[in-house]
Amino acid sequence: MIFLSCHLAFMNSPNIRLQYLVIFIAILLLVIKVGAYGLTHSNTILSDAFESIVNVIMAILGLGSLYIAAQPKDENHPYGHGKIEFVYASVEGLLIILAGGGIILKSIYNFFNPIELTQIDWGIGLIALTGFINFILGQILQKQGKKSGSATLISSAKHLLSDAITTVGLVIGLGLVYFFDLKWLDNILAIGFGAYIAYMGIQLIRNSLSGIMDEVDESLLEEVVEVLENNRKENWIDVHNLRIIRFGADLHLDLHLTLPSYFSLEESHQEVENVERLMQQKVAPNIEMFIHTDPCLPNCCSLCNKQNCPIRSMSFTQKIKWTKDIVRINQKHVESE
Residues near 286 by Cβ (< 8 Å), separated by ≥ 6? 149, 249, 250, 251
Element spanning 80, H or E? none
Q: Which pLDDT belongs to residue 131?
A: 92
Q: Which pLDDT belongs to residue 93?
A: 84
Kindly list the structural domains of the chain, giving each domain's residue range(s) and its CATH number in brackets, ordered by start.
2-212 (1.20.1510.10), 218-327 (3.30.70.1350)
Q: Which pLDDT belongs to residue 149?
A: 67
Distances (CA, A) of 102 to 47, 98, 195: 8, 6, 10
Distance between CA atoms of 229 and 221, rounded to whole angstroms?
12
Half-sphere exposure of 124 (CA within 13 A, CB side): 17
**Whose CA is closest to 240, among 216, 222, 259, 258?**
258
Q: Which pLDDT belongs to residue 121?
A: 92
Q: Which pLDDT belongs to residue 237?
A: 92
Q: Which pLDDT belongs to residue 5?
A: 42
Q: Which pLDDT belongs to residue 166?
A: 79
Q: DSSP class of residue 77? A: -
Q: Which pLDDT belongs to residue 140?
A: 92
Distance from the Cα of residue 298 to its chain's centroid? 44
Low-confidence spans in the chain with pLDDT less than 70: 1-12, 69, 78-79, 81-82, 149, 151-152, 248-249, 333-337
Task: Record the pTM.
Answer: 0.64
- Determine contact, residues 210/246, Cβ cutoff 8 Å: no
Q: Which pLDDT belongs to residue 12?
A: 55
